[in-house]
Structure 1
Amino acid sequence: MNLVRSEFLKIRTTNAWWLFGLGAFVMLALTFLVNAVGAHFSLNEPTPEGMTPQDTATFEATRDVVYQAANLYTSGQFFGLLFVLLLGIVVITSEFQHQTVTTTFLTTPHRTAVILAKLVAAALAGAGFWLVTTALNVPATIIFLNTQDLSSQLGEWAVIRSILLNLLAYVLWGILGVGFGVLIRSQIGATVTAVALYLLGTAAGAIFFTLFATWLDADWIQDLQYGLPSIASGLMVSGTNLPGQPVFWVGAVILVAWAAITGTIGTLITRTRDVS
């Protein structure tokens, strides 16, 4: 616990946490606005004519108030997870950036304990981001649903499940950040690479698997995109299972696996790598 407290002290005494928090807040506001506008039209507009049966089924599923409520309550997840990832990266790479890692390991020669403390600190920081974003999303969503003459939907288990799984996503992405930072020691290199992979890699991966599935006429190939941690995170907080989409728990299993793998690899590498 002393190690965990020291990691929080390092986070609090740098500008990274509030800069990432400010960025997450701005993106949360923009995302909620977009989701609210989309929810308004989805809940009130009729199903367009001329759609294929599959597209019609998907559109009807998105019109479900539970689906829209879950989406609104978890607004800002995509960019929020990115900032948590970056914070997790900074937790480990700042040691190498400012050459304090040698002092850290001399003070606490048990490297596994140090890395575990960093993983715990990053996970708790992710939980803090979730707490703040959820505290903003809940009243905003309730107000929006009231303007649509709808209840808060907080009595629906699917909605509560989405909010709780969103907490799990934020926690796991903090762990992912630490693991990623161990692989790339350079703080600038790690953050730039992480942003590029998160934003461009997510879009490129979704497009690649969709085009490949269409080319080979194999729907299962398109489902491979949910193996990407960013897409799996969105799947796990969906309030309603859309047609042709894996069930929500698949996304949770995939994200837990990614966090376990990166956390384990990061710990093993740090135990054996020279830091001089």
Structure 2
Amino acid sequence: MNLVRSEFLKIRTTNAWWLFGLGAFIMLALAFLINAVGAYYTLSDPSTEGLNPEDAAAFEATQNAVYQAANLYTSGQFFGLLFVLLLGIVVMTSEFQHQTVTTTFLTTPRRTAVILAKLAAAALAGAGFWLATTALNIPATIIFLSTQDVSSQLGEWAVVRSMLLNLLAYVLWGILGVGFGVLIRSQIGATVTAVVLYLIGTIAGQAFFSLIALWLNWDWFDDLRFIVPSIASGLMVSGNNIPGQPVFWVGALILLGWSVLTGTVGTLITRTRDIS
């Protein structure tokens, strides 16, 4: 616990956490606006005219209040997770950036304990981001749904489940950030690479699997896009199961697997790496 507290002290005494928090807040406001506009038109115009049977079934699954409420309550997840990832990277790479890693390991020679403390601090910081964004999403969503004559839907388990799984996503992405920071020790190099992989990788992964599936007429291949962590995160917070897509818990298992892998690899590398 002393190690975890020291990691929080490092986070609190730098500008990174509030800069990332400010960025997450701005993107949250934009995401909620987009989701609210989408929910307004979806709830007010449920027509599936002109759609093929598969697209019509998928669209109908998004038309109910449960799906839209879950989407609104988890607004800002995409960019929020990116900022948590970056914070996790800073937790690790700042040691090398400011050349404090030698002092850290001399003070606490057990490297595994140090990495576990960093993983715990990044995970808890991710939970803090989730708490802040959810605290803003809840009243905003309730107000919006009331304007559409729809109840808050907070009594629906699917909605509550989405919010709790969103918490899990924020926690796991903090762990991913620490693991990524171990692989690339340069703070600038790690943050730039992470942003490019997160943004471009999400779009490229979506396009690659969809185009190959369309080209070869392999419908199952399109589901492989959910191995991309950011896409899996979106799947796990969906309020309803969408026809043609894996169920929500598949996304949770994939993201959990990525977190365990990066956390384990990061710990093993740090235990044997020369830090001089």
TM-score, normalised relative to structure 2: 0.99
Where structure 2 has 5 or more consecutive residues not aligned to the other structure, the ranges are: none
Moved over 3 A (4+): none
| Residue 194 (structure 1) shift | 0.2
In structure 2, how many angstroms separate the alpha carbons of the residues matched to 1:98 and 1:32? 37
CA contact (8 A) 2:232 2:252 kept: yes
* Aligned residue in 1 for 2:54: 54
Task: Measure, in 2, the Cα distance between the counterparts of 1:262 and 1:254.
Answer: 12
Alignment deviations for residues 186-227 of structure 1 (CA, whole Å, 9 cap, x no partner):
000000000000000000000000000011100111000000
Count, aligned residues: 276
Counterpart of 2:124 in structure 1 is 124
Structure-to-structure mapping, 1:246-257, within 5 angstroms: 246-257=246-257
CA contact (8 A) 1:58 1:242 kept: yes
Aligned to 1:97: 97
Aligned counterpart, 1:243: 243
Aligned-residue offset at 1:51: 1.0
1:224 aligns with 2:239: no
Whether the 8 Å CA contact 1:47–1:59 is kept in 2: the answer is no
Letter in 2 for 1:143: I
Q: Which amino acid aligns with 1:47?
A: S
Q: Distance in 2 between matches of 1:206 and 1:246?
A: 15
Give the Cα–Cα distance (whole angstroms) in 1 for the partners of residues 38 and 210 of structure 2.
23
Q: CA deviation at 1:136?
A: 0.2
Residues 5-154 of structure 1 mapped to structure 2, 5 A cutoff: 5-154=5-154
Cα distance, 1:57 vs structure 2: 0.8
Alpha-carbon offset, residue 46 of structure 1: 3.3
1:48 CA displacement:
4.0
Residue identity over aligned pairs, in percent, reads 81
- Tell me, which stretches of 5 or more residues in structure 1 are unaligned? none
Q: Separation in 2 of the partners of 1:212 and 1:46?
A: 31
Distance, in Å, in 2 between the alignment partners of 1:55 and 1:219 is 14
For 1:141, the aligned partner's letter is T
Is contact 1:61–1:242 with CA below 8 Å preserved after alignment?
yes
Which letter maps to 2:271?
Answer: R
CA contact (8 A) 1:92 1:178 kept: yes
Kept after mapping to 1: 8 A contact 2:46/2:63: no
Per the alignment, residue 210 of structure 2 pairs with 210
* TM-score between the two structures when normalised by the length of structure 1: 0.99
CA distance in 2, matches of 1:219, 1:164: 30
1:142-174: CA deviation from partner (whole Å, max 9, x where unpaired)? 000000001000000000000000000000000
Secondary structure of residue in 2 paired with 1:241: coil
Q: 1:47 is paired with a residue of what secondary structure?
A: coil
Q: Which amino acid aligns with 2:213?
A: A
Secondary structure at the residue paired with 1:5?
Answer: helix
